[in-house]
Amino acid sequence: MTEVSIVWFRLDLRLADNPALCAAAERGAIVPVYIWAPEEEGDWPPGAASRWWLGQSLLALERELAQYGVPLTVYRGPCAQALAEIATATGASAVFWNRCYEPAVIARDTRVKQALRTRGLRAESFNAALLNEPWEIENLAGKPFQVFTPFWKRCRAALTDPAPLAIPVALRPGPRPLGQSIESLGLQPRIPWYTQMAEVWQPGARGAQLQLESFLAEKFFHYGAQRNRPDLSATSRLSPHLHFGEIGPRQVWAATAAAARARGMAEEDWRASTFITELGWREFAYHLLFHFPQTPRQPLRAEFAEFPWVPNRAQVETWERGGTGIPMVDAGMRELWSHGWMHNRVRMIVASFLTKNLLQPWQDGARWFWDTLVDADLASNTLGWQWTAGCGADAAPYFRVFNPVMQGRKFDPQGDYVRRWIPELNGLDDGVIHAPWQSGSVVSAYPQPVVDLADSRAAALAAYARRATRQ
């Protein structure tokens, strides 16, 4: 008699390199399931941009499974109840899934696993999202790392070449339970603000693979030199695909190794490349989130819990709209609103401006990114905001304030990035486009700066210095 197994898809929306799917297929027939239960994700259910991407990615997964004659079943939560009902309806004797690492989801999954096993079902989880599990990497004292460089050194030492799993040769469909359509989940907003995102992104495993291939064909070999240039198309743009598990880090590692070897790149060079190191930063973000689950809301460095922010909702909203009068900041915020994404260098610039020029709490910025980024990832979002605010692991020193004018002139030297997103500045010369007010240029359609950069920097440094001297 053929064993039936449920494959519970979550942030692993792919068939290749999917250990839960492989385990189920090895036993016999499979029942692929996605359960929509945002209320079980604590304070961090998917934001608006993430919901749009999720809907598109589920449709792509449904189409890919259909090519193998296997339907995707969609349910609404609660997850434990839904899985029990599906198991009863299909005669499934096992449930397999790939692990997530958000604190609320870990707690939920623990309860689900216990409930399923109590019912006599086999329930197992696997690692499809990381090169190393967060609990596998420790410092010499047996504690979690809080500094990236020794963390990544230990990771690489523990890592053999992580070969990705192939799609199982045979995918046999099990009995199909009654479910509902992906469209019925209401993931797509009624007002089609996402039209520009749909023009520049292709959610799904196929889109992820195409994005990786395009990057490795040429951009990888110039990544270290060009990655900080938002005016160039020089980054991988894989972050949303990685977040939704449309591609996994083992696949990225293996494909990068193959591309580098094909070009005759030395083994030690590609392993130490900036791009591979970025995979390390992603691992580090998950390591921190797992070991310090309070950090999405609280600073890792406890001395910053009482930092003297000056909350001002009007200033935050001006920043959100891209109306601060600082071109590099506004260009980034407008890119975010239009494409659901922002270049990483610009993310640091806009985050520094919010926290260190406007003295607004980093949590406000993290929440806005969470709602508007298609790659909104709790681990990476938390790491990035705490790094810039100076209150997290590997934190930027408190006296490091990104000057958006200098950053613009260095990384957008001809002003092409600013001109793309702030067309009202198109008539300005390269030398003044990043600080039109300094040259006396007046653009009636563009606001004057909401703060003086020098004065606000000095105020921030004074506040940070007072905090530092109290320790």
Any idea which residues carry the catalytic annotation?
278, 281, 309, 344, 362, 385
φ, ψ of residue 9 to 5 degrees: the values are: -80, 140
Give the C-alpha separation, 62 to 182, whole Å: 9
| Amino acid letter for position 219 | K
Closest by Cα among 466, 436, 444 to 303 = 466
CB neighbours of residue 120 within 10 Å: 8
175: preceding bond cis by omega (within 30 degrees): no
- What does the alpha-carbon distance between residue 406 and residue 417 come to, in Å, rounded to a whole number? 14
Whether the CB-CB separation of 322 and 368 falls below 8 Å is answered with: no
Q: How many CA atoms lie within 13 A of 251 on its CB side?
A: 26
Closest residue by Cα to residue 177 from 282, 256, 79, 72 = 72
Is 64 within 8 Å of 388 (Cβ atoms)? Answer: no
Does an H or E element contain 5, and which? strand 3-9
- Consecutive H or E run containing 6: strand 3-9
